[in-house]
């Protein structure tokens, strides 16, 4: 498994050659709870800090690649990571 990539709303945009640079991205973990938090807009603007996984991970039984920071922290706690 490759390392996850943290994208910050502070740096605001992805490199132009990034596959998601000009796509709208929503959190795949909280999508069923509240239609998914918008992570990135198609004008290459990061809406909030979020985590991109090169490989799928399972959060609450759902396969995810792009998740918001809140869901990432919840996932770390669930698996006994650094936030537990």
Q: Average of pLDDT values for 59-77?
A: 86
Q: How far apart are the first and last CA of the chain?
A: 22
Nearest to 10 by CA among 39, 40, 43, 47: 47
- Between residues 83 and 61, the one the model is more confident about: 61
What pLDDT, in 10s, does the model give residues 5-31?
A: 999 988 878 999 999 999 999 999 887
Check pLDDT > 90 for residue 33.
no
């Amino acid at each position: 498994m490759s390392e996850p990539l943290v994208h910050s709303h502070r740096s605001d945009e992805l490199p132009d050659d990034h596959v998601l640079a000009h796509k709208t991205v929503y959190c795949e973990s909280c999508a069923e709870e509240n239609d998914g938090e918008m992570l990135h807009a198609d004008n290459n603007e990061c809406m909030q800090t979020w985590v991109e996984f090169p490989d799928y991970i399972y959060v609450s039984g759902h396969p995810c690649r792009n998740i918001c920071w809140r869901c990432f922290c919840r996932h770390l706690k669930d698996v006994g990571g650094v936030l537990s």
